A and B are shown apart, each in its own frame.
Chain A
């Protein structure tokens, strides 16, 4: 039995047993359902083996929404625990696990795939390409991310979740203080997902640089494509640091090295430094594409071109450079001295300048416009004031001497939620509403959508503004409880109410999807928002080859040009189209990665060796495989086009 003991959860509770049962039943129900409806073949042919960027994008979206709810449940549990002093809803261990998984799930398994969804779905369409540069690699990226995320999530019911914070600082996360396998999950699951992200980075840089439509020079790219390009450049520079860091952490925990240990010359702050060398650029990987989405939406619904295109691009380039020069502001209190702190204080504040330029450009885009309040626009208009609040508190945190008082407190927690929720999450929800018709051929209900945006914003203000105050009153972050005398009770109760309102907002999003699927009209045009860029110039739903004829472009608003200035986008005759073949290898290889990761986490070396061979086998198979793709004939194209036009 000793062998099986390791898989037990070290600190079980009723909630965990209930989740085990729920997860088990759901899996059985899903398998039974697919079998009953005879969908295995469909699932395999159309989704598991697909290399189509649009379908991969949609799978990213589904994963992100799933993880949003996992992370959201964590959040509401934390707020409930802290709503009253000396609450006993959760004990310290559970609270620690929950805030750790909340952070990792929300950043790496919710926000990242959401961004990946937009890049996958939108970028090839926006640059007039038929797919990404390496479609099969793209499928592998997705499946590695997905398996990493699933592996991380089973930690909850097998072996125990990590509990050292999403930053996983050593030596707390080392063997000395974290004896369960929880932190192994952290190291391995994020590693697997991270490899996928790194490949995405290379894939999209190549796609954007090499596959743009004729006439689309770099300075004629739509703003979202620019933001995706820069985010992917950051990925390629930042994610190798994460890979090395996680490998070092794994070596420390499982192979007895001493990089971050307390004895034998280990340096605990080395982890913190490397973590933030990756971690700070990471937040810009999330926020820059979000800025790109806002740029598209604001310009579309102000019915005007984006103001200051060049300065928008320039500011993103500057932000990407500065993002690598500020990491030490995450630990001004390490004792590195006044000089070092001063340097990082100034570089951090400097980021406010290009970010401010972007805010003012958006405001000036509204000027002389003809503003239409759709749901995506409403989210964008709520983003500007709320994000500004988060931005200015960021400048406050950048003042290193004052940061000694903010650091590790709820003030900091309030700040980063204040930038990430209005900055990234609103962009995703705005983008979801915006691109939904292109994906599925019907709109999401506008009325429910606007209600959701307002509820989320009211909830957001109630949930996070009090934290600024409680932080200044001495409430450290990550405390699972506090005494009545501390006086944080009222503020935390308001936070809880806010979190509950936000929860209603998120449930409304699901309801909106359900409602719109049933009742919204299918009779919409290819360009329901009267937008300006290429992704709206093709049919809805988008045919697998995206564009029957590759568009020609002469400005950064190609479709607008075509609509208003008589520019002809599609010239010439149909020609046969070269498309990549589907492949099962990315999925199978990622499944092997999953088993590899699981075995590695529990130090089961024989399966680790077998699966390692399997992974290399898949790579070898790919190397020797002759697959030159396939052609879609002119006749097929004509048929598809006629059908879509008729629809």
Chain B
């Protein structure tokens, strides 16, 4: 118990320092709003705590040596001894780091399987599948089951697993919503899967984190999390008001440049399906129908380059 307490004291010190540095707003990554980001934030804080211990040990040893063994503190005729290594010192020197690394490896491996699976707490929900594809310098979000598509903004329901299928019509990009979870690459020759979930309604920053050329800095999108009912209402509204996305329209959207937020009915998956390259990390999921499109190897034909 005592141990846990000191740990949390350490954490709060670290957080306070960071908070102070950033002008009193909590850092996005350390202010998680979903289970994946929470796991990552707790790993980060735990490792900061553990690493601070190592840093303190090294700093103290260094200061001790420098203060104690300065030449000015010793007599002029002091001759430092010749000391070879000592097996027991070396065992400690290797042993303690090995224990620390082993512990961190254990946590790391565990976390790997957690972030690559359906988010904790939402295992029983049917995931909302969103195809997130990037083009220079936009994001296209296709909701195949809802039959709608948006550009540069993302509406998601809370309390439900989200499964993002990522790919790109341009250079490698990286899909990242810091408060919901870490990023993953979107590539042109395969689809990668990112599992996220949002606990509470709210607005989040999303962006491409991987450098992709001139328009990279502005390659962002807005994320709004809302209750399932609000989400359903939004889908219904889109279906009633938005125009359908056509092949020609989609080709226009792919042209390099920046766009505002846009909304369409239908998805581009029908005429420009995602690449079919293999993807090791894909976990089982209920809705594969969109992947079984005929002539699915034409993923890049919509491109104008």
- Contact residues of A with B, CB < 8 Å? 92-93, 96, 163-165, 169, 171-172, 176-177, 262-263, 265-269, 272, 302-305, 307-311, 331, 333-342, 345-346, 349-350, 352-353, 356-357, 359-361, 363-364, 366-373, 381, 384-385, 388-389, 392-393, 395-396, 398-405, 407-409, 466, 469-470, 472-474, 476-482, 487, 490-491
- The answer to whether residues A474 and B85 also contact, given A369-B69, A388-B58, A407-B209 and a CB cut-off of 8 A, is no
Instruction: List the B side residues contacting A308 at CB < 8 Å.
Output: 84-85, 89-90
- Whether a CB of chain A sits under 8 angstroms from the CB of B294 is no
Does A342 lie within 8 Å of B69, measured CB to CB? no
Quick one: which of B39-82 are within 8 Å of A by CB?
A: 39-41, 43-44, 47-48, 51, 54-55, 58-59, 61-62, 65-66, 69-71, 74, 78, 80-82
Does B65 lie within 8 Å of A366, measured CB to CB? yes
How distant is the Cα of A288 from the Cα of B94 in the complex, in angstroms? 19
11 residue pairs bridging A and B, Cβ less than 8 Å apart: A262-B300, A263-B300, A304-B81, A308-B85, A345-B108, A370-B71, A371-B71, A384-B62, A396-B48, A401-B43, A481-B217
Q: How far is the CB of B255 from chain A (nearest CB, A)?
A: 14
Identify B185's interface contact among A333, A396, A478, CB under 8 A.
Answer: A333
- Whether a CB of chain A sits under 8 angstroms from the CB of B235 is no
- Whether a CB of chain A sits under 8 angstroms from the CB of B174 is yes
- Whether a CB of chain A sits under 8 angstroms from the CB of B34 is no
Does B109 lie within 8 Å of A345, measured CB to CB? yes
Residue of A nearest to B25 (CB): A487
Q: How far is the CB of A337 from chain B (nearest CB, A)?
A: 4
One digit per residue, 1 when the CB lies within 8 angstroms of any chain A CB and 0 when it does not, for chain B 203-218 equals 0010111111111110
Identify A357's interface contact among B65, B90, B187, B207, CB under 8 A.
Answer: B90
- Whether a CB of chain A sits under 8 angstroms from the CB of B146 is no
Does A172 lie within 8 Å of B213, measured CB to CB? yes
One digit per residue, 1 when the CB lies within 8 angstroms of any chain A CB and 0 when it does not, for chain B 183-207 equals 1110111101100000000000101
Identify A333's interface contact among B82, B174, B207, CB under 8 A.
Answer: B174
Identify B44's interface contact among A262, A402, A490, CB under 8 A.
Answer: A402
Instruction: List the B side residues contacting A96 at CB < 8 Å.
Output: 211, 213-214
Chain A, interface SS category = helix
Residue of B nearest to A357 (CB): B93
Does B21 lie within 8 Å of A469, measured CB to CB? yes
Identify A171's interface contact among B21, B82, B188, CB under 8 A.
Answer: B188
- Whether a CB of chain A sits under 8 angstroms from the CB of B242 is no
Question: Which interface residue of B39, B136, B305 has the most chain A CB atoms within 10 A?
Answer: B305
Question: Which interface residue of B80, B205, B280, B305 has the most chain A CB atoms within 10 A?
Answer: B80
How distant is the Cα of A353 from the Cα of B92 in the complex, in angstroms? 11
Instruction: List the A side residues contacting B85 at CB < 8 Å.
Output: 307-311, 361
How distant is the Cα of A407 from the Cα of B178 in the complex, in angstroms? 11
Instruction: List the B side residues contacting A473 at CB < 8 Å.
Output: 22, 25, 27-29
Residue of B nearest to A367 (CB): B65
How distant is the Cα of A77 from the Cα of B229 in the complex, in angstroms? 50
- Whether a CB of chain A sits under 8 angstroms from the CB of B182 is yes
How distant is the Cα of A388 from the Cα of B57 in the complex, in angstroms? 10
Does B174 lie within 8 Å of A474, measured CB to CB? no
Does B70 lie within 8 Å of A371, measured CB to CB? yes
* Interface segment out of the listed B3-11, B110-118, B124-132, B244-252: B110-118
* Interface segment out of the listed B98-106, B155-163, B265-273: B98-106
- The answer to whether residues A474 and B207 also contact, given A172-B213, A337-B280, A487-B25 and a CB cut-off of 8 A, is yes
- How big is the B interface, by class? 35 or more
Instruction: List the A side residues contacting B184 at CB < 8 Å.
Output: 333-335, 404
Question: Which interface residue of B107, B182, B207, B215 has the most chain A CB atoms within 10 A?
Answer: B182
Task: List 13 extra interface pairs beyond A353-B94, A401-B112, CB under 8 A.
Answer: A169-B211, A172-B172, A303-B80, A304-B82, A331-B185, A363-B65, A371-B70, A392-B55, A395-B51, A396-B47, A396-B48, A402-B43, A408-B210
Does B213 lie within 8 Å of A177, measured CB to CB? yes
How distant is the Cα of A463 from the Cα of B98 in the complex, in angstroms? 32
Residue of A nearest to B113 (CB): A338
How distant is the Cα of A408 from the Cα of B43 in the complex, in angstroms? 18
- Whether a CB of chain A sits under 8 angstroms from the CB of B35 is no
How distant is the Cα of A304 from the Cα of B207 in the complex, in angstroms? 54
- Whether a CB of chain A sits under 8 angstroms from the CB of B260 is no
How distant is the Cα of A547 from the Cα of B51 in the complex, in angstroms? 48
Does A335 lie within 8 Å of B279, measured CB to CB? yes
- Whether a CB of chain A sits under 8 angstroms from the CB of B30 is yes
How distant is the Cα of A305 from the Cα of B66 in the complex, in angstroms? 17
Ranked 7 nearest A-B pairs via Cβ: A404-B182, A335-B192, A401-B111, A308-B85, A172-B171, A392-B51, A366-B65
Instruction: List the B side residues contacting A337 at CB < 8 Å.
Output: 116, 280-281
Residue of A nearest to B61 (CB): A363
How distant is the Cα of A52 from the Cα of B84 in the complex, in angstroms? 36
Instruction: List the B side residues contacting A478 at CB < 8 Å.
Output: 211, 216
Identify A479's interface contact among B29, B81, B217, CB under 8 A.
Answer: B217
Does B112 lie within 8 Å of A341, measured CB to CB? yes
- Whether a CB of chain A sits under 8 angstroms from the CB of B181 is yes
Instruction: List the A side residues contacting B116 at CB < 8 Å.
Output: 337-338
